[in-house]
Structure 1
Amino acid sequence: MIPKRALAVPLAVLLPAAGCGLSDEPPTASSGVDCAVNAPCPQSRIVSVQGTGVDPTCFESPAVSPVNTGPYLNMAINLYYASEVLKRDKVCMFPAILGNTNDAYGGAVKSWTALTGKKLTPDDRTVEPGSDPTPFVLRARREGCQAVLYNGTEPMAIAWMKVVRQQDVTGIDWLMTTAPYTEAVAEALGPDGDGMYANAEFEPFTEADSPALKDWRALMTSKNVPLTSFRQAARHFSDRAGKIVRLKDGAWRVVTPDWRAGVAALVDRDGEGVSLEEALATYTIAGARQDFAEGWKGTLTPGKVADLCVSAATADEDVVAAPVDLTVFGGRVVWCRS
Structure 2
Amino acid sequence: MPAVASPVPETASRRRQRLRMSPLERSRRRLFVPFVYPALLVYAAVMVAPTVFTLWISLNHWAGAGPMQWAGLSNYTRMFKDPVFRTSFVNTFWIVFGVGVGVFAIAFLLTMLLHDMVGRKLARAVVFFPSLVPGIAISILWGFLFNYPDGLVDTLLVKLGVDHPPAWLAQDNAFKTILVGMMWLTTGTYTVIFMAAVDRIPRELYEAAELEGAGPFARFRHVTFPLMRDIVSVCSVLWCVGALKTFEFLLTFSAQDGALPSPKLWNFAMYSYGEAFNPDGVPDYGISSACGVIVLVLTGGLAVLSRRILRKDSVTY
User: TM-score, normalising length from structure 1?
Assistant: 0.19
Larger strand proportion, structure 1 or 2?
A: 1
Of structures 1 and 2, the one scoring higher in RCO (CA 8 A, sep 6+) is: 2
